[in-house]
């Protein structure tokens, strides 16, 4: 076990709390995650390319399947999010035993939920296809693809626990390299399953399942052996009531947000689908192109959360505040540069994935109208990271729900259908939801109500239950 002051996790803690330059620290924490994010984006681009070789209907399949799979994954993500606050703040406070017990408590809940919900969703997949009104040309391929991708959730949950636990403690390298290896495996297996073995669209789902089994299996190995500083035994998986209450206090608002957002995106698939297969394909292309900035944005937001969590646990409130606004400046500044480049070369980017004018036109309009709002979206995402690491998740979670259910869905439907603006109205409604939510979250960050730790020191263990 290396979860001590002189051990592996203790050394990471010393770097997180001792580095004077916050810019240098955030870049150091984010660097390995940038590598993984780059690999993931390249995989998504490659996956989109291979699917595009099978036609417009195949290209639209992931946009139908992933929001549904996201219902199960979002539930797991939300429940596991309590680790960001508890592990980060306990490590910051030097209470490594409580950090380890927190991991075991949350893991037992998340894994049980992952298996149960995945089985339920697989059984209900045909109903989802009918309710969402997916076009017949897409639904045939999407059915099997969706069922297989939902089956990846328990394995993804294992890796999620591994990733959250080590990252909150300051080790961003190990989990991100495992994730990068899984993404490379996925990219290599895609054409093998899709073309060499003749599975077509379903082959992409099989490749994802194999990659998820790899990352989940390695996570179990690491926890069982303590190879990376955190070792869990079977008794650690018996939930501690006090820690479970603390974790749920943090994670329930996030869980509600994740489920609400995922179900909202599923409804958005219905809104998009009503405009026809070319708009669905354009939506898929735009999502990929506008997601490329995740290469640096998500790693920096996560790095910011790590510093915030450990700083609050150590009683360093001013350091936590400075970390949040340093991270915000880095993320929005880099995103502005990327969006500018994307606007200039938008036609060249889109032409990589589509030649048909019916797809190119809506895709370009999405980039021009919706693209700039990604800056506001990153304010929201950084606020999410700060909220999870500080443990004060209610406001940002409510903002996330409002972004979709009170703004994006009704505005997009109103503009696209009632006012007859078609896909132009769709992109305008999506953009407005980002701008409003980003402004609200910026105000939340400035007010600083999140600058209070949620852990108790010293922690007294409750009875299992």
Residues ≥6 apart with Cβ < 8 Å to 346: 364, 367, 368
Predicted confidence band at 388 (pLDDT cuts at 50, 70, 90)? very high
Query: Which burial class, exposed, middle or buried, applies to 337 when counting CB atoms under 10 A from its CB (0-12, 13-18, 19+)?
Result: exposed
- DSSP assignment of 292-311 equals TTHHHHHHHHHHHHHHHHHH
| pLDDT, tens digit (0-9, with 9 covering 90-100), for 152-189 | 999 999 999 999 999 999 999 999 899 999 999 999 99
d(CA 107, CA 239): 9
Which tens digit of pLDDT belongs to each residue from 135-152?
A: 787 788 889 999 999 999
Tell me which DSSP letter residue 464 carries: B
Q: Is the pLDDT of residue 458 over 60?
A: no
Task: Considering only residues 219 and 54, tell me which one the structure prediction assigns the higher pLDDT.
Answer: 219
pLDDT above 50: residue 6: no
Q: 375 falls in which pLDDT band (50, 70, 90)?
A: very high
Q: Would you say the C-alpha torsion 286, 129, 120, 252 has a positive or negative sign?
A: positive
Asked if the bond preceding 458 is cis, omega within 30° of 0, the reply is yes
Question: Could you tell me the pLDDT band of residue 457, with boundaries at 50, 70 and 90?
Answer: low
Res 44 pLDDT > 80? no
Identify the pLDDT of residue 5: 45
- pLDDT greater at residue 252 or residue 134: 252
Query: DSSP labels for 232-263?
Result: --GGGGSPBHHHHHHHHHHHHHHHHHHHHHHH
Neighbours of 149 (CB within 10 A): 27
| Rounded Cα gap, residues 383 and 328, in angstroms | 9
Mean pLDDT score, 194-221? 94
Task: Reply yes or no on whether the pLDDT at 465 is more than 70.
Answer: no
Of the candidate ranges 244-253, 315-324, 343-352, 411-420, the one whose mean pLDDT is the lowest:
343-352
Q: What is the mean pLDDT of the chain?
A: 90
Domain coordinates in residue numbering, the chain: 22-447
Cβ proximity of 212 and 159 under 8 Å: yes
Q: What is the pLDDT of residues 328-346, one digit of tens each?
A: 999 999 999 999 999 898 8
């Amino acid at each position: 076990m290396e979860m001590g002051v002189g051990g592996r996790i203790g050394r990471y803690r010393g770097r997180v709390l001792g580095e004077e330059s916050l810019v240098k620290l955030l870049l150091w924490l984010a660097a390995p995650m940038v590598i993984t994010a780059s690999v993931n984006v390249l995989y998504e681009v490659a996956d989109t390319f291979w699917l595009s070789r099978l036609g417009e209907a195949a290209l639209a399949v992931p946009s139908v399947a992933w929001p549904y799979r996201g219902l199960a994954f979002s539930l797991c993500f939300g429940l596991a999010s309590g680790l960001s606050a508890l592990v980060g703040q306990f490590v910051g406070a030097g209470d490594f035993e409580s950090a380890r017990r927190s991991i075991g408590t949350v893991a037992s809940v998340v894994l049980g939920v992952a298996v149960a919900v995945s089985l339920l969703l697989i059984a209900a997949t045909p109903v989802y296809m009918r309710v969402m009104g997916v076009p017949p040309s897409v639904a045939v391929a999407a059915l099997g693809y969706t069922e297989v991708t939902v089956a990846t959730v328990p394995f993804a949950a294992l890796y999620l626990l591994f990733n959250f636990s080590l990252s909150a403690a300051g080790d961003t390298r190990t989990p991100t390299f495992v994730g990068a290896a899984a993404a490379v495996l996925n990219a290599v297996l895609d054409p093998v399953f899709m073309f060499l073995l003749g599975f077509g669209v379903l082959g992409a789902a099989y490749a994802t399942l194999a990659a998820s089994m790899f990352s989940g299996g390695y996570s179990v190995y690491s926890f069982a052996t303590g190879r990376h500083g955190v070792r869990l035994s079977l008794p650690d998986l018996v939930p501690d009531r006090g820690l479970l209450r603390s974790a749920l206090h943090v994670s329930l608002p996030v869980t509600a947000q994740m489920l609400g957002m995922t179900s909202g995106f599923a409804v958005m698939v219905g809104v998009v689908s009503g405009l026809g297969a070319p708009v669905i394909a354009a939506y898929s292309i735009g999502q990929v192109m506008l997601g490329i900035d995740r290469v640096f944005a998500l790693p920096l937001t996560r790095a910011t959360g790590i510093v915030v969590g450990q700083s609050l646990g150590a009683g360093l409130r001013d350091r936590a505040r400075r970390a949040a606004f340093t991270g915000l400046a880095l993320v929005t500044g880099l995103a502005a540069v990327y969006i500018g480049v994307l606007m200039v070369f938008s036609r060249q980017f889109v032409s990589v994935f589509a030649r048909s004018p019916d797809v190119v036109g809506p895709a370009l309009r999405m980039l021009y109208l919706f693209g700039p709002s990604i800056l506001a979206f990153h304010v929201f995402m950084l606020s999410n990271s700060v909220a999870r690491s500080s443990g004060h998740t209610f406001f940002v979670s409510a903002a996330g729900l409002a972004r979709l259910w009170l703004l994006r869905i009704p505005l997009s439907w109103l503009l696209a259908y009632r006012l007859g603006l078609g896909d132009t109205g769709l992109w305008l409604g999506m953009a407005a939801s980002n701008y409003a939510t980003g402004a609200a979250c910026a105000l939340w960050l400035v007010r600083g109500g999140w600058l209070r730790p949620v852990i108790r020191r010293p922690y007294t263990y409750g009875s299992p239950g």
